[in-house]
Chains A and B, each alone.
Chain A
Amino acid sequence: MSMDSEKAFGLFRGCAVDVLQVEADQIRLETRFIEDLDADSLDLLELALAVEEVFGVRVVEEELRGIETIGQAYDLVYSKL
């Protein structure tokens, strides 16, 4: 499956807004999960589940290690599309 990056990011942002309970304009590529959004490992785990449901991809827990920004998480997902 291939998807336009802008459309994909829109869907990704929707997942993040839903899971992290933040405003859409807070979800930018450079946004940091911990420092900017006060997110924890459970938030990341739930975001991964939400992304899997929306994009039909598989994100394993090991891949979440080292992910610090929205951009890094989005790149991980987009690389699987």
Chain B
Amino acid sequence: MVSGLLDGKRLVVTGVLDERSLAFGVAALAQEQGAEIVLTGAGRGLSITRRVARRLPEPPDVYELDVTVPEHFPALADALGRRWGAVDGALHAIGFAPRACMGGGFLEASWEDVGLALNVSTYSLKALVAGLLPLFRSAGGGSVVGLDFDATRAWPAYDWMGVAKAGLESCARYLARDVGQHRLRVNLVASGPITTTAARSIPGVEAFRDTWRARAPLGWDTEDSSCVAKACVALLSNWFPMTTGEVIHVDGGFQAIGI
């Protein structure tokens, strides 16, 4: 029997909204590679996540985790503690910004809206890592992977979500610094644009597509997220044991090219 890259790993996968979600691809590949997973869902999306979970190769349990509700983190940790006693990895695929924060109007967005975007999209990485830290420690370490979009430059339409992602990149570095002593790694995967349901909700996002395809040395298919799933699974595995605080670009090489 060929062993899987994630044999025996116990993983928490957030952010599965539908079958197009990047997290769905990661969850499916993780199972294929031998991991036992649970999903989390939030609010109105929770029942959707439960339906979509049934479409995975091994339908996993779904726990409620609304990152704006602090009590949900200890509740999740308690439930996973009873279930597994330890956790080996987590995928952070959580992001949200109110409509006013994207698609133009950068100067007009209110702090109320921006604050919510930063809470859900940036601070939640810290909250997830801190909330699950005792379980990672019980496992003797682990790997947290977050989904990112290159935040080193300004993009059309992305606006305050770009700021949130810049914060996420910085947050990952600080987390890496503070949890490395527990053999816990924290890395991000900065994907090129993929046509997910979440991405479709960003007004003007189609402007990215043709430019990306033309400039990326490897080309880019906005409909194919399998490259993202592979990178995440690799980072969740034991094959990046000395990599942390890093942003891995899975973008066809776009980020390396000037014009």
Q: Which residues of A contact B (CB under 8 A)?
A: 19, 40-42, 45-46, 49-50, 53, 61
18 A-B pairs whose Cβ atoms sit less than 8 Å apart in the complex: A19-B47, A40-B44, A41-B201, A42-B44, A42-B45, A42-B48, A45-B17, A45-B197, A46-B47, A46-B48, A46-B51, A49-B48, A49-B51, A49-B52, A50-B51, A53-B54, A61-B18, A61-B200
- Residue B173 interfacial (CB < 8 Å): no
Q: How far is the CB of A47 from chain B (nearest CB, A)?
A: 10
Extra contacts besides A46-B51, A49-B48, A50-B51 (13): CB < 8 Å: A40-B44, A42-B44, A42-B45, A45-B17, A45-B18, A46-B48, A49-B51, A49-B52, A53-B51, A53-B54, A61-B18, A61-B197, A61-B200
Q: Which of B71-102 contact A (CB under 8 A)?
A: none
Chain A residues with CB under 8 Å of B213's CB are none
Question: Is residue B182 within 8 Å, beta carbon to beta carbon, of the partner chain?
Answer: no
Give the complex CA separation of A32 and B201 in angstroms.
Answer: 22
Q: Is the CB of B20 within 8 A of A61?
A: yes
Flag B14-31 by CB within 8 Å of A: 1 or 0 each. 000110100000000000
How many A-B contacts if CB must be within 8 Å?
Answer: 24
* Nearest Cβ on chain A to B88's Cβ, whole angstroms: 30
B1-38 contacts to A (CB < 8 Å): 17-18, 20
A43 to B, closest residue via Cβ: B44
Task: Among A40, A41, A53, A61, find the residue whose CB has the most chain B CB atoms closer than 10 A.
Answer: A61
The residue of chain A having its C-beta at the shortest distance from the C-beta of B20 within the complex is: A61
**B39-80 Cβ-contact flags toward A at 8 Å (1 or 0):** 000001101100110100000000000000000000000000
Residues of A within 8 A of B44 (CB): 40, 42
Chain B 195-216, CB-CB to A under 8 Å as 1, else 0, gives 0010011000000000000000
Determine the chain B residues whose CB is within 8 A of the CB of A40 once the complex forms: 44
Specify which of A19, A49, A50, A53 is in contact with B18 (CB 8 Å cutoff): A49
| Cβ < 8 Å to A, chain B residues 168-195 | none
A35 to B229, CA, bound (A): 39
Please give the distance in Å from B89's CB to the nearest CB on chain A.
Answer: 27
With a CB–CB cut-off of 8 A, which chain B residues contact A42?
Answer: 44-45, 48
- Tell me the complex Cα distance, A37–B106, Å: 33
Chain B hits for A45, CB < 8 A = 17-18, 48, 197
Q: How far is the CA of A61 from the CA of B200 in the complex (A)?
A: 10
Chain A nearest Cβ from B59, distance in angstroms: 12
List, in ascending order, chain B residues with CB within 8 A of A19's CB.
47
Q: How far is the CB of B100 from chain A (nearest CB, A)?
A: 17
